[in-house]
């Protein structure tokens, strides 16, 4: 399993410094390719699409298997 976050990964997205969680369970559907580009996530709970171009913390959700 890779530590790099990529398309299709399940993640949690939090805004830096604001102590606000945007989405606890989202799928990465686009990863920035250059300056001024945005992350794009799809929330699993609502199906909402989020375009994030500001500082955020993205935490990869790792499912443990017994």
Residue 66: pLDDT over 70? no
pLDDT in tens, 9-27: 999 999 876 678 888 999 9
Nearest to 28 by CA among 1, 4, 54: 4
- Counting Cα atoms < 13 Å in the Cβ hemisphere of 54 gives 7
Residues 31-45, mean pLDDT to the nearest whole number: 92
Tokens encoding 62:
């790792």
Residues 58-64, mean pLDDT to the nearest whole number: 84
Write down the pLDDT at residue 63: 75
Helix-, strand-, coil-residue percentages of the chain, each rounded to 5 = 0, 45, 55
55 close to 15: Cβ distance less than 8 angstroms: yes
């Amino acid at each position: 399993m890779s530590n790099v976050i990529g398309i299709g990964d399940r993640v949690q997205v939090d805004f830096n410094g604001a102590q606000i969680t945007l989405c606890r369970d989202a799928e990465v559907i686009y990863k920035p390719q250059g300056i001024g580009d945005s992350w794009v996530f799809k929330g699993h709970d609502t199906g909402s699409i989020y375009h994030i171009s500001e500082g955020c913390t993205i935490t990869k959700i790792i499912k443990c298997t017994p």
